[in-house]
Structure 1
Amino acid sequence: MTKIVYEIVEHDGGWAYKLDDVFSETFDSKEQATAAANDVAARQQVSGESETIQYQDEDGVWREEDEAGDDRPDVEVRDAKS
């Protein structure tokens, strides 16, 4: 199972959440950034319909897979200083 970790960090004069090196918009408070990250994390848990997907892998080969709509990642929100 995939694990996604959103970190709450100081950013651009305020607070943001980030995933890897990508930052959200800047919020006025740490609490607002945490609430926004928790909202995004909750939406990651919503199941969808199963579908067949097509994608190009790192070698340029096209692949096709059936993806289950209930295969959701494990999501965590944490303070980057933790």
Structure 2
Amino acid sequence: MVQITYRIVEHDGGWAYQLGGTYSETYPDHDTARAAAIAVAREQKVPDENTLIEYANASGEWITERADGHDRPEVDVEG
């Protein structure tokens, strides 16, 4: 099973949650950013239908693949 961790970090004059090199929108304070990250983490655990997903890899290439809606990651929030 995949493990992902959202980290609460200072960003763009406020606070955001970060996964890899991607930041959320900016929130005015740490607690609001943490609450948003916890909400997103909960959504990660909700099973869904199998579907096609698209995302950009580290090189900027767009990848299309089928995602198993029941293969959900383990999610943590740090910070």
TM-score, reference length from structure 2: 0.75
Matches within 5 A, 1:57-76: 68-76=68-76
**Cα shift readout 1:27-55 (whole Å, capped 9, x = no counterpart):** 0010000000001000000001245x599
Aligned to 2:47: 47
Per the alignment, in what secondary structure is the counterpart of residue 34 of structure 2? helix
- What percent identity do the matched residue pairs reach? 48
Instruction: Count how many residue pairs are aligned between Structure 1 and Structure 2.
Output: 69
Per the alignment, in what secondary structure is the counterpart of residue 17 of structure 1? strand
Corresponding letter in the other structure for 1:16 = A
Per the alignment, in what secondary structure is the counterpart of residue 6 of structure 1? strand
**Structure 2 unaligned runs (5+)?**
55-64
TM-score, reference length from structure 1: 0.73
Corresponding letter in the other structure for 1:13 = G
Pairwise CA RMSD: 2.1
